[in-house]
Structure 1
Amino acid sequence: MRNKSLDAVKAIAACLVVCIHVSFPGQVGQLVKVLARCAVPFFFMVSGYFCYYQNCNASKRILSKILHIMKLFAVSVVFYFIWECFMKAWNGERVWTWIKGLVST
């Protein structure tokens, strides 16, 4: 059975992780970053808890999670590649030159 309260806390932790990467001005911004740093280990602990249900085979569950993460990764790489190509074209830069720079050594 899924623990809805842990899902809510995980969502809050995910928002705090985003706050780490957003620049807030002044001393308040530094305080937000310091307080949000606890979210990363907590987020991973809660995620690990969801990997180990009592009624499920752990190795099967972990393989399922890895495949799910790989799918999300592939979709995000394609999305951000298309986004970056669009932004380069929008700014008047040459997209093919940028792509050649990515794949050349």
Structure 2
Amino acid sequence: MTDQPTPINRPLTDDERHLLADLTIWCIAEQTGVSDDEAARALDELHQKSPLQMEGDAVNVYVKTSNGHVIVHCTREWLAFHAHSGGQLTSEELRRVLRYDMPGDGT
């Protein structure tokens, strides 16, 4: 991946939506120290009260709360690559990336 992500000029695929949902669960679990199942239940409860939104453009995609708080952000290029590469991303690999990109982690 380059510093200038390639625009993806099409709607998200089902595989990309599923990966984005998994990323959201993993992000919440990593930030709060709960299990993936607990994070999924909490997100489901939040979504029932105030729907979460997937939105973006040809370069970026976000999962946001209804008040605009960003839970997950990734580039469309990254999402497309990992959703369609045929490789299996593990929780541990994603958590490593999430930890690397978290503000204030010193990296």
Q: Which has the larger radius of gyration?
A: 1
Taking structure 2 as the reference length, the TM-score comes to 0.27
More RCO (CA 8 Å, sep 6+)? 2
Per residue, is there more strand in 1 or in 2? 2
TM-score relative to the length of structure 1: 0.27
Structure having the higher helix fraction is 1
